[in-house]
Structure 1
Amino acid sequence: MNRPVRRTAYHFGMRLHVGCAMWSLKSWQGRFVAHPLPSRERLRAYAGWCNAVEGNTTFYATPARDTVETWAQQTDPDFRFVLKLPKVITHERRLVAVEDPLRIFLNAIEPLGPRAHALWIQLPGSFGPADLPAVETFLRQVPTSYRYAVEVRHPAFFDDPRATAQLEGVLAAADAEWVPFDTTVFFAKLPTSAAERDAWTKKPRLPRRSHALTDRPIIRYLGRDAVTETVEGWQHWVDVTVGWLQEGRAPTVFVHTPDNADAPELARRFHDAVRARVPQLEPLPEPDPVEPLTLF
Protein backbone atom coordinates (compact mmCIF):
# COMPACT_ATOMS: atom_id res chain seq x y z
CA MET A 1 0.00 0.00 0.00
CA ASN A 2 1.08 3.59 -0.54
CA ARG A 3 2.39 5.36 2.51
CA PRO A 4 0.68 8.48 3.92
CA VAL A 5 1.51 11.65 2.04
CA ARG A 6 3.86 14.15 3.63
CA ARG A 7 1.98 17.38 2.97
CA THR A 8 3.98 20.14 1.36
CA ALA A 9 3.11 23.82 0.86
CA TYR A 10 3.21 24.63 -2.86
CA HIS A 11 3.16 28.04 -4.48
CA PHE A 12 1.38 26.62 -7.52
CA GLY A 13 -1.90 24.83 -8.12
CA MET A 14 -2.16 21.10 -8.73
CA ARG A 15 0.65 20.16 -11.09
CA LEU A 16 1.82 17.12 -12.97
CA HIS A 17 5.35 17.36 -14.29
CA VAL A 18 6.19 15.44 -17.45
CA GLY A 19 9.34 15.16 -19.49
CA CYS A 20 11.83 13.15 -21.51
CA ALA A 21 15.20 11.50 -21.09
CA MET A 22 16.97 14.50 -22.67
CA TRP A 23 16.21 18.03 -23.78
CA SER A 24 17.89 17.90 -27.16
CA LEU A 25 17.73 15.35 -29.96
CA LYS A 26 18.63 15.75 -33.61
CA SER A 27 15.30 14.35 -34.82
CA TRP A 28 13.43 17.06 -32.87
CA GLN A 29 15.06 19.90 -34.82
CA GLY A 30 12.66 21.62 -37.16
CA ARG A 31 9.80 19.64 -35.65
CA PHE A 32 9.58 20.40 -31.93
CA VAL A 33 12.29 23.05 -31.76
CA ALA A 34 13.69 25.52 -34.25
CA HIS A 35 16.53 24.57 -36.57
CA PRO A 36 19.21 25.72 -36.39
CA LEU A 37 19.17 26.48 -32.67
CA PRO A 38 22.25 27.37 -30.58
CA SER A 39 23.01 24.88 -27.81
CA ARG A 40 22.46 27.60 -25.20
CA GLU A 41 18.82 27.92 -26.36
CA ARG A 42 17.85 24.26 -26.66
CA LEU A 43 16.77 23.74 -23.08
CA ARG A 44 14.63 26.87 -23.22
CA ALA A 45 12.89 25.53 -26.33
CA TYR A 46 12.38 22.11 -24.74
CA ALA A 47 10.90 23.77 -21.64
CA GLY A 48 8.09 25.04 -23.86
CA TRP A 49 7.06 21.43 -24.40
CA CYS A 50 7.77 19.81 -21.04
CA ASN A 51 8.21 21.00 -17.47
CA ALA A 52 10.70 18.34 -16.35
CA VAL A 53 13.73 16.50 -17.69
CA GLU A 54 15.94 13.61 -16.69
CA GLY A 55 19.53 14.65 -16.07
CA ASN A 56 21.21 11.60 -17.55
CA THR A 57 24.36 13.39 -18.71
CA THR A 58 25.44 14.08 -15.12
CA PHE A 59 25.99 10.33 -14.72
CA TYR A 60 28.97 10.52 -17.07
CA ALA A 61 30.52 13.80 -15.93
CA THR A 62 29.81 16.54 -13.42
CA PRO A 63 28.96 19.69 -15.40
CA ALA A 64 30.76 22.98 -14.90
CA ARG A 65 28.97 25.32 -12.54
CA ASP A 66 28.67 28.03 -15.20
CA THR A 67 27.01 25.49 -17.51
CA VAL A 68 24.45 24.75 -14.82
CA GLU A 69 23.85 28.47 -14.43
CA THR A 70 22.74 28.57 -18.08
CA TRP A 71 20.30 25.73 -17.34
CA ALA A 72 18.75 27.81 -14.58
CA GLN A 73 18.56 30.85 -16.84
CA GLN A 74 16.64 28.89 -19.49
CA THR A 75 13.97 27.48 -17.15
CA ASP A 76 11.35 28.70 -14.70
CA PRO A 77 11.80 27.96 -10.97
CA ASP A 78 9.03 25.35 -11.18
CA PHE A 79 10.83 23.36 -13.89
CA ARG A 80 12.06 20.02 -12.52
CA PHE A 81 15.47 18.46 -13.05
CA VAL A 82 15.87 14.90 -11.80
CA LEU A 83 19.65 14.69 -11.82
CA LYS A 84 21.48 11.38 -11.91
CA LEU A 85 24.42 11.17 -9.52
CA PRO A 86 27.80 10.60 -11.23
CA LYS A 87 28.77 6.99 -11.86
CA VAL A 88 31.88 7.36 -9.70
CA ILE A 89 29.49 7.66 -6.75
CA THR A 90 26.93 5.00 -7.63
CA HIS A 91 28.71 2.43 -9.78
CA GLU A 92 32.43 2.74 -9.11
CA ARG A 93 32.45 3.45 -5.37
CA ARG A 94 28.95 2.04 -4.74
CA LEU A 95 28.03 4.89 -2.35
CA VAL A 96 31.08 4.34 -0.12
CA ALA A 97 33.80 6.98 0.49
CA VAL A 98 32.17 9.43 -1.91
CA GLU A 99 32.44 12.66 0.07
CA ASP A 100 34.70 14.44 -2.43
CA PRO A 101 32.87 13.64 -5.70
CA LEU A 102 29.53 14.33 -3.99
CA ARG A 103 30.75 17.71 -2.72
CA ILE A 104 31.97 18.66 -6.19
CA PHE A 105 28.67 17.58 -7.74
CA LEU A 106 26.53 19.47 -5.23
CA ASN A 107 28.58 22.61 -5.72
CA ALA A 108 28.12 22.36 -9.50
CA ILE A 109 24.33 22.00 -9.39
CA GLU A 110 23.72 24.64 -6.72
CA PRO A 111 22.66 27.32 -9.28
CA LEU A 112 19.56 25.26 -10.10
CA GLY A 113 18.05 26.07 -6.72
CA PRO A 114 14.50 24.67 -6.50
CA ARG A 115 14.72 23.27 -10.03
CA ALA A 116 16.83 20.40 -8.65
CA HIS A 117 13.72 18.39 -7.86
CA ALA A 118 15.52 15.21 -6.81
CA LEU A 119 18.97 13.67 -6.91
CA TRP A 120 18.61 10.36 -8.69
CA ILE A 121 20.63 7.46 -7.32
CA GLN A 122 20.58 4.84 -10.07
CA LEU A 123 22.28 1.70 -8.78
CA PRO A 124 23.80 -1.10 -10.90
CA GLY A 125 22.07 -4.45 -11.31
CA SER A 126 24.71 -6.07 -9.10
CA PHE A 127 23.71 -3.84 -6.18
CA GLY A 128 21.52 -6.17 -4.14
CA PRO A 129 19.94 -6.54 -0.71
CA ALA A 130 23.31 -7.21 0.93
CA ASP A 131 24.36 -3.70 -0.13
CA LEU A 132 21.47 -1.93 1.59
CA PRO A 133 23.60 -0.76 4.54
CA ALA A 134 25.55 1.41 2.07
CA VAL A 135 22.30 3.02 0.90
CA GLU A 136 21.20 3.62 4.49
CA THR A 137 24.52 5.16 5.49
CA PHE A 138 24.67 7.31 2.37
CA LEU A 139 21.16 8.69 2.85
CA ARG A 140 21.93 9.52 6.47
CA GLN A 141 24.96 11.56 5.48
CA VAL A 142 23.73 13.55 2.47
CA PRO A 143 22.43 17.12 2.84
CA THR A 144 18.75 17.28 3.71
CA SER A 145 18.31 20.34 1.48
CA TYR A 146 17.81 17.96 -1.46
CA ARG A 147 15.27 15.23 -2.12
CA TYR A 148 16.57 11.80 -3.13
CA ALA A 149 15.20 9.12 -5.44
CA VAL A 150 16.68 5.63 -5.77
CA GLU A 151 16.43 3.30 -8.75
CA VAL A 152 17.41 -0.32 -8.18
CA ARG A 153 17.79 -3.05 -10.77
CA HIS A 154 18.58 -6.16 -8.75
CA PRO A 155 15.72 -8.68 -9.24
CA ALA A 156 15.54 -9.53 -5.53
CA PHE A 157 14.12 -6.11 -4.70
CA PHE A 158 11.14 -6.95 -6.89
CA ASP A 159 10.80 -10.71 -6.35
CA ASP A 160 11.66 -11.13 -2.66
CA PRO A 161 9.06 -9.52 -0.34
CA ARG A 162 11.61 -9.29 2.48
CA ALA A 163 14.10 -7.41 0.28
CA THR A 164 11.31 -5.15 -0.97
CA ALA A 165 10.28 -4.29 2.59
CA GLN A 166 13.89 -3.69 3.66
CA LEU A 167 14.51 -1.26 0.81
CA GLU A 168 11.22 0.53 1.41
CA GLY A 169 12.12 0.91 5.08
CA VAL A 170 15.52 2.41 4.29
CA LEU A 171 14.03 4.85 1.79
CA ALA A 172 11.08 5.83 3.98
CA ALA A 173 13.42 6.66 6.88
CA ALA A 174 15.14 9.21 4.63
CA ASP A 175 11.93 10.40 2.91
CA ALA A 176 13.49 9.13 -0.33
CA GLU A 177 11.50 7.81 -3.29
CA TRP A 178 11.84 4.51 -5.15
CA VAL A 179 11.97 5.24 -8.89
CA PRO A 180 10.48 2.46 -11.03
CA PHE A 181 11.55 2.08 -14.65
CA ASP A 182 8.56 0.40 -16.27
CA THR A 183 9.69 -1.58 -19.32
CA THR A 184 6.86 -4.13 -19.28
CA VAL A 185 5.11 -2.71 -22.34
CA PHE A 186 8.37 -2.60 -24.28
CA PHE A 187 9.23 -6.23 -23.51
CA ALA A 188 5.70 -7.47 -24.20
CA LYS A 189 6.63 -8.35 -27.78
CA LEU A 190 9.76 -8.75 -29.88
CA PRO A 191 11.46 -5.64 -31.29
CA THR A 192 10.50 -4.40 -34.74
CA SER A 193 13.04 -1.63 -35.40
CA ALA A 194 16.76 -0.98 -35.04
CA ALA A 195 16.17 1.27 -32.03
CA GLU A 196 13.99 -1.35 -30.37
CA ARG A 197 16.56 -4.07 -31.01
CA ASP A 198 19.25 -1.91 -29.44
CA ALA A 199 17.09 -1.13 -26.40
CA TRP A 200 16.21 -4.83 -26.10
CA THR A 201 19.81 -5.62 -25.12
CA LYS A 202 20.27 -2.64 -22.78
CA LYS A 203 17.10 -1.91 -20.83
CA PRO A 204 16.31 -3.71 -17.56
CA ARG A 205 13.56 -6.30 -17.62
CA LEU A 206 11.88 -6.12 -14.22
CA PRO A 207 8.34 -6.32 -12.83
CA ARG A 208 6.27 -3.16 -12.78
CA ARG A 209 6.13 -1.30 -9.48
CA SER A 210 3.43 1.30 -8.81
CA HIS A 211 3.70 2.25 -5.13
CA ALA A 212 4.71 5.75 -4.01
CA LEU A 213 6.73 6.23 -0.83
CA THR A 214 6.64 10.03 -0.72
CA ASP A 215 4.55 12.98 -1.85
CA ARG A 216 6.69 13.32 -4.99
CA PRO A 217 6.71 10.01 -6.88
CA ILE A 218 8.81 9.73 -10.03
CA ILE A 219 7.98 7.35 -12.89
CA ARG A 220 10.08 6.32 -15.87
CA TYR A 221 8.00 4.62 -18.56
CA LEU A 222 9.39 2.99 -21.72
CA GLY A 223 6.97 2.48 -24.57
CA ARG A 224 7.56 1.35 -28.15
CA ASP A 225 8.54 3.24 -31.28
CA ALA A 226 4.92 2.91 -32.44
CA VAL A 227 3.01 5.81 -30.92
CA THR A 228 -0.25 3.88 -30.62
CA GLU A 229 1.43 1.08 -28.65
CA THR A 230 3.09 3.57 -26.32
CA VAL A 231 -0.19 5.38 -25.64
CA GLU A 232 -2.14 2.16 -25.12
CA GLY A 233 0.55 0.89 -22.76
CA TRP A 234 0.58 3.87 -20.43
CA GLN A 235 -3.08 3.64 -19.36
CA HIS A 236 -1.96 1.99 -16.12
CA TRP A 237 0.14 5.04 -15.32
CA VAL A 238 -2.65 7.44 -16.20
CA ASP A 239 -4.82 5.68 -13.64
CA VAL A 240 -2.05 5.68 -11.01
CA THR A 241 -1.15 9.32 -11.65
CA VAL A 242 -4.77 10.43 -11.33
CA GLY A 243 -4.95 8.62 -8.00
CA TRP A 244 -1.75 10.23 -6.76
CA LEU A 245 -2.95 13.70 -7.66
CA GLN A 246 -6.22 13.08 -5.85
CA GLU A 247 -4.22 12.02 -2.80
CA GLY A 248 -2.33 15.30 -2.84
CA ARG A 249 0.90 13.98 -4.33
CA ALA A 250 2.92 15.85 -6.98
CA PRO A 251 4.20 13.23 -9.46
CA THR A 252 6.75 13.49 -12.23
CA VAL A 253 6.43 11.16 -15.22
CA PHE A 254 9.11 10.64 -17.86
CA VAL A 255 8.06 9.11 -21.17
CA HIS A 256 10.66 7.15 -23.13
CA THR A 257 10.58 5.29 -26.40
CA PRO A 258 13.50 3.41 -27.96
CA ASP A 259 14.21 6.18 -30.48
CA ASN A 260 12.62 9.04 -28.47
CA ALA A 261 11.64 10.66 -31.76
CA ASP A 262 8.15 11.59 -30.52
CA ALA A 263 8.97 11.91 -26.83
CA PRO A 264 8.11 15.61 -26.27
CA GLU A 265 4.74 15.22 -27.95
CA LEU A 266 4.06 11.97 -26.10
CA ALA A 267 4.86 13.56 -22.74
CA ARG A 268 2.29 16.26 -23.47
CA ARG A 269 -0.25 13.64 -24.56
CA PHE A 270 0.22 11.85 -21.26
CA HIS A 271 -0.38 15.13 -19.43
CA ASP A 272 -3.49 15.73 -21.55
CA ALA A 273 -4.84 12.26 -20.71
CA VAL A 274 -4.45 12.90 -16.99
CA ARG A 275 -5.87 16.44 -17.22
CA ALA A 276 -8.96 15.11 -18.99
CA ARG A 277 -9.74 13.29 -15.74
CA VAL A 278 -8.37 15.93 -13.36
CA PRO A 279 -9.57 19.23 -14.90
CA GLN A 280 -8.10 21.37 -12.10
CA LEU A 281 -4.61 20.30 -13.17
CA GLU A 282 -2.47 23.24 -14.27
CA PRO A 283 -1.81 23.25 -18.05
CA LEU A 284 1.60 22.84 -19.58
CA PRO A 285 3.36 25.82 -21.18
CA GLU A 286 2.74 26.47 -24.84
CA PRO A 287 5.75 25.69 -27.06
CA ASP A 288 7.10 28.27 -29.46
CA PRO A 289 5.95 27.79 -33.06
CA VAL A 290 8.51 26.06 -35.26
CA GLU A 291 9.09 27.04 -38.86
CA PRO A 292 9.11 23.98 -41.15
CA LEU A 293 12.44 22.85 -42.51
CA THR A 294 13.26 24.01 -46.04
CA LEU A 295 15.78 22.86 -48.57
CA PHE A 296 17.29 26.32 -48.97
Structure 2
Amino acid sequence: MRLHVGCAMWTHARWQGRLLPAGLPPGERLRAYATWCEAVEGNTTFYATPSRSTVESWARQTDPGFRFVVKLPRTITHEHRLTGADDDLRTFLEVMEPLESRVHALWLQLPGSFSPADLGALAAFLHRLPRSHRYAVEVRHRAFFEDERARRLLERLLTGFDAEWVPFDTTVMFASPPASDAERDAWTKKPRLPRRTHALTDRPIVRYLGRDDEERTIGGWRPWADTVADWLREGRSPTVFIHTPDNADAPVLARRFHDDVRARVPELEPLPEPMPAEPLTLF
Protein backbone atom coordinates (compact mmCIF):
# COMPACT_ATOMS: atom_id res chain seq x y z
CA MET A 1 0.00 0.00 0.00
CA ARG A 2 1.60 3.24 -1.16
CA LEU A 3 0.50 6.85 -1.45
CA HIS A 4 2.90 9.22 -3.19
CA VAL A 5 2.56 12.94 -2.54
CA GLY A 6 4.36 15.83 -4.18
CA CYS A 7 4.39 19.38 -5.44
CA ALA A 8 4.37 21.26 -8.73
CA MET A 9 8.13 21.79 -8.61
CA TRP A 10 11.19 20.65 -6.64
CA THR A 11 12.81 24.03 -6.13
CA HIS A 12 11.35 27.32 -4.89
CA ALA A 13 13.02 30.44 -3.57
CA ARG A 14 10.84 30.38 -0.43
CA TRP A 15 12.05 26.85 0.45
CA GLN A 16 15.77 27.61 0.49
CA GLY A 17 17.20 27.79 4.01
CA ARG A 18 13.76 27.14 5.53
CA LEU A 19 12.66 23.73 4.23
CA LEU A 20 15.72 22.81 2.17
CA PRO A 21 19.38 23.63 2.88
CA ALA A 22 20.44 27.07 1.67
CA GLY A 23 22.96 27.37 -1.12
CA LEU A 24 22.31 24.01 -2.75
CA PRO A 25 23.59 23.92 -6.34
CA PRO A 26 20.90 23.21 -8.96
CA GLY A 27 22.18 19.66 -9.38
CA GLU A 28 21.40 18.81 -5.74
CA ARG A 29 18.01 20.45 -5.19
CA LEU A 30 15.93 17.56 -6.48
CA ARG A 31 17.80 15.17 -4.17
CA ALA A 32 16.90 17.35 -1.18
CA TYR A 33 13.28 17.73 -2.29
CA ALA A 34 13.00 13.94 -2.66
CA THR A 35 13.54 13.57 1.09
CA TRP A 36 10.32 15.57 1.60
CA CYS A 37 8.14 14.13 -1.15
CA GLU A 38 8.17 11.01 -3.29
CA ALA A 39 6.70 12.52 -6.45
CA VAL A 40 6.87 15.70 -8.51
CA GLU A 41 5.04 17.21 -11.45
CA GLY A 42 7.29 17.61 -14.46
CA ASN A 43 5.93 21.00 -15.47
CA THR A 44 9.18 22.39 -16.91
CA THR A 45 9.09 19.91 -19.78
CA PHE A 46 5.93 21.61 -21.06
CA TYR A 47 7.97 24.67 -22.05
CA ALA A 48 11.03 22.93 -23.50
CA THR A 49 12.44 19.44 -23.82
CA PRO A 50 15.47 19.29 -21.48
CA SER A 51 18.85 17.92 -22.48
CA ARG A 52 19.51 14.24 -21.90
CA SER A 53 22.28 15.13 -19.42
CA THR A 54 19.75 17.11 -17.38
CA VAL A 55 17.42 14.12 -17.25
CA GLU A 56 20.34 11.87 -16.29
CA SER A 57 20.94 14.23 -13.36
CA TRP A 58 17.31 13.85 -12.29
CA ALA A 59 17.73 10.08 -12.31
CA ARG A 60 20.93 10.26 -10.23
CA GLN A 61 19.21 12.37 -7.59
CA THR A 62 16.21 10.08 -7.04
CA ASP A 63 15.54 6.49 -6.06
CA PRO A 64 13.88 4.17 -8.60
CA GLY A 65 10.62 4.38 -6.63
CA PHE A 66 10.37 8.15 -6.99
CA ARG A 67 7.53 9.25 -9.30
CA PHE A 68 7.77 11.80 -12.08
CA VAL A 69 4.51 12.73 -13.78
CA VAL A 70 6.08 14.33 -16.84
CA LYS A 71 4.15 16.82 -18.98
CA LEU A 72 4.49 16.49 -22.73
CA PRO A 73 5.82 19.62 -24.46
CA ARG A 74 3.31 22.25 -25.55
CA THR A 75 4.57 21.93 -29.11
CA ILE A 76 2.85 18.53 -29.14
CA THR A 77 -0.30 19.23 -27.12
CA HIS A 78 -1.04 22.89 -27.82
CA GLU A 79 0.68 23.89 -31.06
CA HIS A 80 0.25 20.69 -33.08
CA ARG A 81 -2.78 19.55 -31.04
CA LEU A 82 -1.51 15.94 -31.13
CA THR A 83 -1.18 15.71 -34.92
CA GLY A 84 1.99 15.92 -37.02
CA ALA A 85 4.33 16.04 -34.03
CA ASP A 86 5.89 12.58 -34.25
CA ASP A 87 9.46 13.91 -34.44
CA ASP A 88 8.97 16.06 -31.32
CA LEU A 89 7.42 13.10 -29.51
CA ARG A 90 10.24 10.74 -30.51
CA THR A 91 12.87 13.20 -29.28
CA PHE A 92 11.03 13.71 -26.00
CA LEU A 93 10.69 9.99 -25.31
CA GLU A 94 14.38 9.41 -26.03
CA VAL A 95 15.40 12.21 -23.67
CA MET A 96 13.23 10.76 -20.86
CA GLU A 97 14.81 7.29 -21.11
CA PRO A 98 17.31 7.77 -18.21
CA LEU A 99 14.40 8.12 -15.75
CA GLU A 100 13.34 4.53 -16.48
CA SER A 101 10.69 3.40 -13.94
CA ARG A 102 10.64 6.84 -12.31
CA VAL A 103 8.35 8.01 -15.12
CA HIS A 104 5.09 7.17 -13.41
CA ALA A 105 3.06 8.59 -16.29
CA LEU A 106 3.47 10.81 -19.31
CA TRP A 107 0.97 13.61 -18.89
CA LEU A 108 -0.99 15.20 -21.72
CA GLN A 109 -2.36 18.52 -20.49
CA LEU A 110 -4.71 19.58 -23.26
CA PRO A 111 -5.79 23.18 -23.92
CA GLY A 112 -9.21 24.44 -22.91
CA SER A 113 -10.19 24.59 -26.57
CA PHE A 114 -9.64 20.83 -26.96
CA SER A 115 -13.27 19.69 -27.09
CA PRO A 116 -15.21 16.45 -27.52
CA ALA A 117 -14.98 17.07 -31.28
CA ASP A 118 -11.20 16.50 -30.97
CA LEU A 119 -11.39 13.06 -29.37
CA GLY A 120 -10.47 11.43 -32.67
CA ALA A 121 -7.10 13.18 -32.58
CA LEU A 122 -6.57 12.02 -28.99
CA ALA A 123 -7.46 8.43 -29.90
CA ALA A 124 -5.06 8.43 -32.87
CA PHE A 125 -2.29 9.92 -30.74
CA LEU A 126 -2.72 7.41 -27.90
CA HIS A 127 -2.71 4.62 -30.48
CA ARG A 128 0.73 5.73 -31.72
CA LEU A 129 2.29 5.91 -28.26
CA PRO A 130 4.56 3.08 -27.08
CA ARG A 131 2.99 0.71 -24.57
CA SER A 132 6.19 0.87 -22.48
CA HIS A 133 4.79 3.95 -20.70
CA ARG A 134 1.58 4.78 -18.91
CA TYR A 135 -0.33 7.91 -19.79
CA ALA A 136 -2.48 10.48 -18.04
CA VAL A 137 -4.69 13.08 -19.69
CA GLU A 138 -5.90 16.39 -18.28
CA VAL A 139 -8.76 18.09 -20.13
CA ARG A 140 -10.06 21.59 -19.49
CA HIS A 141 -13.07 21.92 -21.80
CA ARG A 142 -16.21 22.22 -19.69
CA ALA A 143 -18.18 19.83 -21.90
CA PHE A 144 -16.19 16.88 -20.53
CA PHE A 145 -17.44 17.74 -17.05
CA GLU A 146 -20.98 18.92 -17.81
CA ASP A 147 -22.11 16.81 -20.79
CA GLU A 148 -22.76 13.19 -19.87
CA ARG A 149 -22.16 11.85 -23.37
CA ALA A 150 -18.82 13.68 -23.70
CA ARG A 151 -17.72 12.40 -20.30
CA ARG A 152 -18.56 8.80 -21.18
CA LEU A 153 -16.80 9.03 -24.54
CA LEU A 154 -13.61 10.31 -22.94
CA GLU A 155 -13.72 7.74 -20.15
CA ARG A 156 -14.23 4.92 -22.65
CA LEU A 157 -11.34 6.16 -24.80
CA LEU A 158 -8.93 6.50 -21.87
CA THR A 159 -9.91 3.16 -20.36
CA GLY A 160 -9.14 1.46 -23.67
CA PHE A 161 -5.54 2.66 -23.38
CA ASP A 162 -5.28 2.16 -19.60
CA ALA A 163 -4.79 5.92 -19.34
CA GLU A 164 -5.87 8.02 -16.37
CA TRP A 165 -7.99 11.18 -16.36
CA VAL A 166 -6.14 13.73 -14.22
CA PRO A 167 -8.42 16.11 -12.30
CA PHE A 168 -7.15 19.57 -11.39
CA ASP A 169 -9.33 20.55 -8.45
CA THR A 170 -9.50 24.34 -8.17
CA THR A 171 -12.90 24.52 -6.47
CA VAL A 172 -11.47 25.77 -3.17
CA MET A 173 -9.57 28.52 -4.98
CA PHE A 174 -12.75 29.81 -6.61
CA ALA A 175 -15.04 29.32 -3.61
CA SER A 176 -14.40 32.91 -2.47
CA PRO A 177 -12.55 35.97 -3.80
CA PRO A 178 -8.72 36.03 -3.72
CA ALA A 179 -7.00 37.41 -0.64
CA SER A 180 -3.36 37.72 -1.74
CA ASP A 181 -1.38 38.72 -4.81
CA ALA A 182 -0.63 35.06 -5.58
CA GLU A 183 -4.29 34.17 -5.24
CA ARG A 184 -5.28 37.03 -7.54
CA ASP A 185 -2.82 35.70 -10.12
CA ALA A 186 -4.24 32.18 -9.77
CA TRP A 187 -7.76 33.58 -10.06
CA THR A 188 -7.00 34.83 -13.58
CA LYS A 189 -4.96 31.84 -14.81
CA LYS A 190 -6.31 28.60 -13.35
CA PRO A 191 -9.21 26.67 -14.88
CA ARG A 192 -12.62 26.80 -13.18
CA LEU A 193 -14.01 23.29 -13.46
CA PRO A 194 -16.15 20.98 -11.31
CA ARG A 195 -14.39 18.58 -8.96
CA ARG A 196 -13.98 15.09 -10.41
CA THR A 197 -13.13 12.15 -8.10
CA HIS A 198 -13.61 9.06 -10.29
CA ALA A 199 -10.49 6.98 -11.00
CA LEU A 200 -10.15 5.01 -14.23
CA THR A 201 -7.01 3.00 -13.41
CA ASP A 202 -5.19 1.48 -10.47
CA ARG A 203 -2.85 4.51 -10.36
CA PRO A 204 -5.00 7.66 -10.10
CA ILE A 205 -3.34 11.09 -10.15
CA VAL A 206 -4.82 14.18 -8.47
CA ARG A 207 -3.81 17.84 -8.68
CA TYR A 208 -5.29 19.93 -5.87
CA LEU A 209 -5.04 23.72 -5.58
CA GLY A 210 -5.70 25.19 -2.16
CA ARG A 211 -5.32 28.72 -0.85
CA ASP A 212 -2.47 30.67 0.70
CA ASP A 213 -4.29 30.22 4.02
CA GLU A 214 -3.22 26.86 5.44
CA GLU A 215 -6.45 26.05 7.23
CA ARG A 216 -8.55 26.71 4.13
CA THR A 217 -6.24 24.48 2.12
CA ILE A 218 -6.52 21.66 4.64
CA GLY A 219 -10.26 22.04 5.01
CA GLY A 220 -10.69 21.95 1.25
CA TRP A 221 -8.80 18.70 0.76
CA ARG A 222 -10.83 16.66 3.27
CA PRO A 223 -13.02 15.13 0.51
CA TRP A 224 -9.83 14.11 -1.28
CA ALA A 225 -8.40 12.51 1.86
CA ASP A 226 -11.56 10.39 2.07
CA THR A 227 -11.42 9.49 -1.63
CA VAL A 228 -7.72 8.62 -1.54
CA ALA A 229 -8.24 6.48 1.56
CA ASP A 230 -10.96 4.57 -0.32
CA TRP A 231 -8.64 4.13 -3.30
CA LEU A 232 -5.94 2.66 -1.07
CA ARG A 233 -8.42 0.21 0.46
CA GLU A 234 -9.38 -0.82 -3.08
CA GLY A 235 -5.73 -1.65 -3.85
CA ARG A 236 -5.00 1.43 -5.97
CA SER A 237 -1.73 3.39 -5.75
CA PRO A 238 -2.56 7.12 -5.92
CA THR A 239 -0.32 10.11 -6.51
CA VAL A 240 -1.50 13.47 -5.14
CA PHE A 241 0.05 16.85 -5.87
CA ILE A 242 -0.64 19.70 -3.47
CA HIS A 243 -0.54 23.25 -4.84
CA THR A 244 -1.17 26.61 -3.26
CA PRO A 245 -1.06 29.91 -5.14
CA ASP A 246 2.35 30.85 -3.68
CA ASN A 247 3.54 27.24 -3.02
CA ALA A 248 5.59 28.60 -0.10
CA ASP A 249 4.72 25.64 2.15
CA ALA A 250 3.74 23.08 -0.47
CA PRO A 251 6.13 20.30 0.69
CA VAL A 252 4.91 20.64 4.29
CA LEU A 253 1.30 20.56 3.14
CA ALA A 254 1.91 17.53 0.92
CA ARG A 255 3.26 15.64 3.91
CA ARG A 256 0.32 16.85 5.99
CA PHE A 257 -2.05 15.43 3.37
CA HIS A 258 -0.24 12.09 3.61
CA ASP A 259 -0.68 12.21 7.40
CA ASP A 260 -4.39 12.96 7.04
CA VAL A 261 -4.86 9.95 4.76
CA ARG A 262 -2.82 7.79 7.12
CA ALA A 263 -5.15 8.79 9.96
CA ARG A 264 -7.92 7.16 7.89
CA VAL A 265 -5.78 4.20 6.77
CA PRO A 266 -3.41 3.39 9.68
CA GLU A 267 -1.66 0.61 7.78
CA LEU A 268 -0.24 3.18 5.37
CA GLU A 269 3.47 3.58 6.08
CA PRO A 270 4.58 7.05 7.26
CA LEU A 271 6.90 9.12 5.13
CA PRO A 272 10.60 9.19 6.13
CA GLU A 273 11.89 12.26 7.95
CA PRO A 274 13.04 14.94 5.50
CA MET A 275 16.54 16.36 5.19
CA PRO A 276 17.05 19.14 7.78
CA ALA A 277 17.32 22.63 6.36
CA GLU A 278 20.22 23.47 8.68
CA PRO A 279 23.32 21.37 9.48
CA LEU A 280 23.13 19.28 12.61
CA THR A 281 25.30 20.45 15.54
CA LEU A 282 26.71 18.69 18.58
CA PHE A 283 25.16 21.11 21.03
TM-score, length of structure 2 as denominator length? 0.98
Question: 1:51 matched to which residue of 2?
Answer: 38
Deviation at 1:276, TM superposition (A): 1.4
Q: Deviations over 1:133-159 (max 9, x none)?
A: 011111111000000000000000000
What does residue range 1-296 of structure 1 map to in structure 2 within 5 Å? 14-291=1-278
Aligned residues: 279
Poorly superposed stretches of 4+, deviation over 6 Å? none
Q: Distance in 2 between matches of 1:286 and 1:142?
A: 38
Gaps of 5+ in 2: none
Gaps of 5+ in 1: 1-13
TM-score, length of structure 1 as denominator length? 0.93
**1:189 match: secondary structure:** coil
Check conservation: 2:82, 2:125, Cα contact below 8 A.
yes
Indicate the RMSD between aligned Cα atoms, in angstroms: 0.7
Q: Using the aligned pairs only, state the percent identity.
A: 70
Check conservation: 2:226, 2:264, Cα contact below 8 A.
no
Deviation at 1:279, TM superposition (A): 1.6
Amino acid at match of 1:74: Q
Check conservation: 1:221, 1:254, Cα contact below 8 A.
yes
Deviation at 1:16, TM superposition (A): 0.2
**2:70 match: secondary structure:** strand
Check conservation: 2:48, 2:73, Cα contact below 8 A.
yes
**1:260 match: secondary structure:** coil
Deviation at 1:98, TM superposition (A): 1.5
Check conservation: 2:170, 2:190, Cα contact below 8 A.
yes
Q: Distance in 1 between matches of 2:16 and 2:56?
A: 24
Amino acid at match of 2:172: V
**1:187 match: secondary structure:** coil
Q: Deviations over 1:61-108 (max 9, x none)?
A: 001111101101100100000000000000000000121000000000
**1:117 match: secondary structure:** strand
Q: Distance in 1 between matches of 2:171 and 2:199?
A: 18
Deviation at 1:225, TM superposition (A): 0.1
Q: Distance in 1 between matches of 2:246 and 2:158?
A: 32
Q: Distance in 1 between matches of 2:40 and 2:276?
A: 21
Check conservation: 1:50, 1:285, Cα contact below 8 A.
no
Deviation at 1:290, TM superposition (A): 1.4
* Stretch of structure 1 that moved more, 211-220 or 272-281: 272-281
Q: Distance in 1 between matches of 2:93 and 2:269?
A: 31
Q: Distance in 1 between matches of 2:269 and 2:96?
A: 27
Amino acid at match of 1:251: P
Q: Distance in 1 between matches of 2:75 and 2:190?
A: 21
Amino acid at match of 2:115: G
Q: Distance in 2 between matches of 1:21 and 1:143?
A: 26
Q: Distance in 2 between matches of 1:192 and 1:26?
A: 21
**1:221 match: secondary structure:** strand
Amino acid at match of 2:129: V
